[in-house]
Structure 1
Amino acid sequence: MVSTPKAPDPKETAAAQAGMNVDTAQAQQLTNMVDQVGPDGSLTYTQSGRNTFVNSQGQTVTIPKYTATTALSAAQQAIKDQTDSASLNLGTIANEQSNFLKDYLSEPFKADTAEAEARLAELGSARLDPQFAKQEEALRTRLANQGVQEGSEAWKSAMGDFSQGRNDAYNSLFLSGRSQAMSEAYAERNQPLQEIGALLSGSQVQSPQFVNTPQASVGGVDYAGMVSDKYKAETAAAQSKMGGLFGLLSAPFGMFSLGA
């Protein structure tokens, strides 16, 4: 007697497929984890333990865990040690020097330009006064030669223009000198901050550089598809056999029908 094949258990098929997928994943990982050795260092993979998880069937699955280790060559390691030591020193100095910043920055900055202005006045007296004295004497002589009487409107106008020019020269001297003095005062104020900033820039923490996790390309086994194809083939074969038996059973009845 021909019977229809029993349909495969979906849970058993899924569990078998999952197991094969895990096997494929491990094969993929092992295939791609290739140790590397170069002039500046090496990269090696070692099994460092195991990871476990519970799958959808409630089963505990254990898979290996690997560690990628990067090692520098002796020369590169020596350079790194020296660089790390220098960075640590710079950071330590910056930390020590920054202790005074709390009090230093808590006081409002006031640029004292009195000393600079006194120096400007001294320079003006030494350099500008003799020049203006000569120019004033020459102006008086020229006005006298031109017949312009002292005290006249023309004389007052000429001397007024001369005085205005002298005042403008002194104002320009004091304004430019005061601006320069302020710039120098601010530069002196910022000098400690710039030095600490430079120290910190030389002691920046370098983020670790990790290699990318290997990506595998091994094709997985379609176990569920193969089970389904096998079941379909067995079902078709059983139906074919059953069709043949039905033909044989119906043959005698056909013979009677022909005889009538």
Structure 2
Amino acid sequence: MVSSPKAPDPYKTADAQSQYNTMTAETQQLMNMTDQYTPYGNVIYNQTGTTQITGPDGKTYNVPRFSQTTTLNNQQQQTLDQQQQSATNIASTANNLSNTGLSNLSQAVDTSGAPALQTSLGSDYSSSPGSNYSTSVGNGYATGLGSGYQTSFGGDVSQAYNAAKNAVMDQYTPTLGRNAEATRAQELASGVRAGSAAYSANEQTIGDNYTRAADQATQTAQSVQNQLFNQQQSQAQFGNSAMLNQAQFGNEAALNQFNAQNNAALTGQQFTNSALLSGGQFNNDARNQYLSQYYQQRDQPLNELSALLSQSQVNNANTATSATPQTQVAGVDYSGMVQSNYAQKMAQSNQLTSGLFQLGSSAMGMGGMAMGGK
């Protein structure tokens, strides 16, 4: 009969695995603790004893303990001593300052001595130029030219027209009359009768002469009339131009006076406003300066203490050592190997049992066949 393999004891397996792990850790630590010797100092590792640890199985295990010792050369040691002494002095100064110089911080903030904040410029500050500023030019400024300005000019020139025309006709009429009488006398002597073509032609010529004389008289009268009209127009324009120049001169003088008065009013008010603004800004700047100096004096001891405390820290000594190479040692998987060995034995036992069962079945089958043959 085939027996199954006995299962491994878990406590014994865990105990063995723990011992292997401890050995692996110790080996790895020993390999990584490399002593270093540099021109600035040395780093040396030494075992200082052991620490006892009780395992799950109740057994006691000794775990080694190590110490790291850093030694500086003389120059580095002197530098470190000076740094530590400086830090001690700074810390002592900071301690004295915290006892005496920070007494003001225990008192409440008092800004009653600061100049008052000015938020108003007073009643003298104005956004208008005042009563001396005028929006009207005044009575001295004229918007019209008065009754002396002519929109029409000249008198009736028809009489001059008629007189000139009559004068010309009076000059031409005697000659035209004599010429007409001479023409008619010649017609009578020549036997030209009234109503004949020659008579009509002569009368037409006499009429044309009178017509031309009348046209000439009309042109002369119109020329005289135009000259008289132009003279009257020139006189009127001269008078109107003189009135315009005089009115413009008066208006310019009134405008200049108006502008001068308003500019003076504006300048005076602007000067007053500027003086008020400068005074208010000066007062507020004085207040800001007072508060700035007050808080600066109040915070100065605290800032000095903070600076001293930040400088009192001592840095670790620099041995200029290089990093120690770290070696990783793989642990032994003892429990896994035990479990694997148990599994293999169990598999072999199962295979052997299965083979025997098959062999027995085969033998029983052969015995049955023999009995049937009989």
- Match of residue 105 from structure 2: 105
- Over the aligned positions, Cα root-mean-square deviation in angstroms equals 4.4
Q: Distance in 1 between matches of 2:78 and 2:326?
A: 33
1:225: Cα distance to partner? 3.5
TM-score of the two chains, using structure 1 as the length reference: 0.64
1:227 aligns with 2:338: yes
1:95: Cα distance to partner? 0.9
SS of residue in 1 equivalent to 2:84? helix
Q: Which amino acid aligns with 2:41?
A: G
Distance 1:13 1:200, change over 3 A: closer
1:81: Cα distance to partner? 1.5
1:41: Cα distance to partner? 3.1
How do residues 78-227 of structure 1 correspond to structure 2 at under 5 angstroms? 78-101=78-101, 103-111=103-111, 112-113=113-114, 159-204=268-313, 217-227=328-338
- Match of residue 61 from structure 2: 61
Q: Which amino acid aligns with 2:49?
A: G
Q: Distance in 1 between matches of 2:38 and 2:96?
A: 41
Q: Distance in 2 between matches of 1:55 and 1:30?
A: 22
Q: Which amino acid aligns with 2:283?
A: F
Q: Distance in 2 between matches of 1:97 and 1:28?
A: 52
SS of residue in 2 equivalent to 1:110? coil
How do residues 221-260 of structure 1 correspond to structure 2 at under 5 angstroms? 221-233=332-344, 236=348, 240=352, 260=373
- Match of residue 143 from structure 1: none
Residue identity (%): 35
- Please identify the structure whose Cα radius of gyration is greater: 2
1:76 aligns with 2:56: no
Q: Deviations over 1:237-258 (max 9, x none)?
A: 79649958x969x87x959966
Q: Which amino acid aligns with 1:84?
A: Q
Distance 1:193 1:25, change over 3 A: closer
Q: Deviations over 1:96-155 (max 9, x none)?
A: 1221356422333435357xxxxxxxxxxxxxxxxxxxxxxxxxxxxxxx989xxx9987
Q: Which runs of 5+ in 1 are unaligned?
A: 115-145
1:175: Cα distance to partner? 3.0
**Residue pair 1:3, 1:238 contacting (<8 A) in 2 also:** no
**Residue pair 1:4, 1:239 contacting (<8 A) in 2 also:** no
SS of residue in 2 equivalent to 1:51? strand
Distance 1:199 1:7, change over 3 A: closer
TM-score of the two chains, using structure 2 as the length reference: 0.47
Q: Distance in 1 between matches of 2:355 and 2:272?
A: 132
**Number of residue pairs matched?**
224
Q: Distance in 2 between matches of 1:72 and 1:207?
A: 11
1:164: Cα distance to partner? 3.8
- Match of residue 38 from structure 1: 38
**Residue pair 1:90, 1:200 contacting (<8 A) in 2 also:** yes
Q: Which amino acid aligns with 2:35?
A: D
- Match of residue 137 from structure 1: none
Q: Which moved more, 1:189-198 or 1:92-101?
A: 189-198
